[in-house]
Chain A
Amino acid sequence: MQSKRLPILCLVILGVGAILFLLNLVTGTVSIPIESVFETLFGDSNNEIWQNIIFKSRLPQALTAVAAGAALSVSGLQMQTVFRNPLAGPSVLGISSGAAMGVAFVVLMSGAFGGIALSRMGLIGELAVTLSAIVGSLAVMALIIFISRKVRGNVTLLILGVMIGYMANAVIGVLKYFSAEEDVKAYVVWGLGSFSRVSGGQTMLFVSAVVILIPLSLLLAKSLNLMLLGDGYASNLGLNVKRARMLIILSSGTLVAVVTAYCGPIVFLGLAVPHLCRSIFATSDHRILMPACAFTGAALALFCNLIARLPGFEGALPVNSVTALIGAPVVASVIFRKRRESSYE
């Protein structure tokens, strides 16, 4: 019964995604007619302004949204399964806090000690932020993986992850307190998240990183399906639970680290999309859920980006506000539905 619905659902999500992608190219402060968008894309247009807008701004932004949405959603699904916790998301293990701490160190300290505000340094500053975010999140992830090899219970690991997140935030708080106002603002803006920060060549780097990482994480589908049954059954069915857990955290953490480095901490997508996909596809099979999350996440990120850029907001609306506005009702409705179902028992 499911197998008949599946191809239709896939086509619908791909179709919606494609339409949203085009809309992202069409709308903005300057409205470009759809025929001209195609002409520009295929190099048949001589309008340099439109070429500039599409190739330098809208296309990179749309591609970034697709990659970030897909990566965060797959990462969130992995976290929810490995911790068997519907409220787990990509940020739950403090990995994005680690990224934030890395960025805070670079952005806030450079002003205090180097005497130059990083926010004024252009491309080098941008690169420094990206690198520091990756270093910060990978450092936290290494710590988490080290702990995951020592502790048995998932709940213990989850609590330790949350604690690490708190500690990272405390460090950020101290750094902020001693920093120049200008740098604090630069840090806060980074924290709002954005799909437009990535520019030019870096877009391709980011997108190709995600294009490599997502198929790699799909390889964990069977392990994830077994993890659903709990550690006991999973290990009885021949799974090396500790190793599988480590690989899943590694895969999920790397995806979050990369996205956070390029786009800042994007909240809610990673938490909401897996729930959305489970209710749309009505399955718990990760061989279906993982690609479903990737495509749905990409589509939802494009949708959020579109709203953030609607005429009137002029691109001023931070992506995080939009994702939370859309994500929160989704999570709320899922939890409400769960509670109602369990009360039937």
Chain B
Amino acid sequence: MSRNGRLVLDNLTIGYNAKSVAGPLNAELRSGELTSLLGQNGAGKSTLLRTIANFIKPLSGSVLIDGAAVNSIGERALSKLVGVVLTERFNIPDMTVYEMVSTGRSPFTGFWGRCLKADREVIEKSIDLAGVTSLKERLFDSLSDGERQKVMIAKVLAQQTPIIILDEPTAFLDFPSKVDLMNLLHKISREESKTVFISTHDLELALQMSDRLWLIDKSKGLSCGIPEDLSLKGVLGGFFADRGVTFDSESGLFRVTNRFEHSIRLTGHDRKFSMVRKALNRNRIEASGKIDSPSVIDCGDSSSLNLTVRLFGEQEAVVSSVEEMLEIVKVYFQTHRSE
């Protein structure tokens, strides 16, 4: 049996109890790549992952691994092809990190589950790769969420499957831990040339660190591609357009959609310019160099933090912080509502 782990969705319809959630879906996962599955709550992210892992049966169509449908492979053989990291949390008293990782060897161990020398070598290697070497002797119950997640990744590495599926691995983590984890997953996909497939709500991170995106939506179905292509084609922009999120095609990142009530001309460049614009946007004031308005904010040059505020019918003011500028501008627009 070839162990490439080529995973194909073939006209797959997913759902629970004969109720369809999404489909028909057609797509392919590639090895050596990190693919992120994005979509709203209820779009079928978890259902898709659970179907790929063969926890639930497809309503129609099939999930193929190297040409064989996952629901016909048998759990023993499938356990050597697909490894999962789930969202469920559990407390197992008195289990060490090493023991937890060693459960990943279960598909390979014999009747009693005893780890042989070769198994122990794989376990050690997986622990090192996941970066949890220092936690080896700790009790699993005593770990933080981020540490637990990495231990579960070490466990799935010990399982030595060509495909690894993770259900929202970055949920509940603080920002640096999220970045850390995504880096780890990316590294695994490259160095071990594994197919890494995650579902996530962290748009920004997924856009920056995934090789490929799968966008799943109730009405639009599944759109796949590398983030930059999806961005250029306008798929990303359309995806969250009606939900208060705007895709900034220049930076290739998402930002909150602002509804503007006022506008003002803003001149300048560099970091100071973008910071001032961000502050004004948040206060529902549109600001750019292209706006034709008698009121102007001049950012000047980068030698000082000074800002020059020239509001129509008011005296020119020079302030040294964005906060002071905002105060003046907000008061001005409150008294000039008619504009």
Contact = CB atoms under 8 A, between A and B. Distances in A.
Interface of A: 84, 219, 221-222, 225-226, 228-230, 232-233, 235-240, 278, 282-285, 287
Contacts of A229: 90, 92, 103
Nearest to A233: B86
Per CB-CB distance, the 10 closest pairs between chain A and chain B, nearest first, are A238-B79, A222-B113, A238-B107, A237-B106, A238-B76, A236-B84, A284-B95, A282-B94, A232-B86, A284-B94
Given A237-B106, A238-B78, A238-B79, 10 more contacts: A221-B113, A228-B95, A230-B88, A232-B55, A233-B84, A236-B82, A236-B84, A237-B103, A238-B106, A238-B107
B141 to A, nearest CB: 8
Contacts of B54: 235
A252 B76 CA distance: 25
A225 B112 CA distance: 10
A108 B159 CA distance: 57
B245 to A, nearest CB: 31
A221 B106 CA distance: 12
B93 A278 contact: yes
Contact of A240 (B75, B92, B99): B75
Category for how many chain B residues contact A: 20 to 34
Question: What secondary structure prevails in chain A residues at the interface with B?
Answer: loop
B85 to A, nearest CB: 9
Contacts of A228: 90, 92, 95
Nearest to A231: B55
B75 A239 contact: yes
A219 B111 CA distance: 8
13 contacts: A226-B103, A230-B88, A230-B90, A232-B88, A236-B84, A237-B104, A237-B106, A237-B107, A237-B159, A239-B106, A283-B94, A284-B99, A285-B99
Given A237-B104, A238-B79, A285-B99, A222 B90 contact: no
A227 B113 CA distance: 13
B75 A225 contact: no
Contacts of A226: 103, 106
B53 interface: yes
A226 B90 CA distance: 13
A192 to B, nearest CB: 34
A237 B103 CA distance: 8
A284 B92 contact: yes
Contacts of B237: none
A238 B75 contact: yes
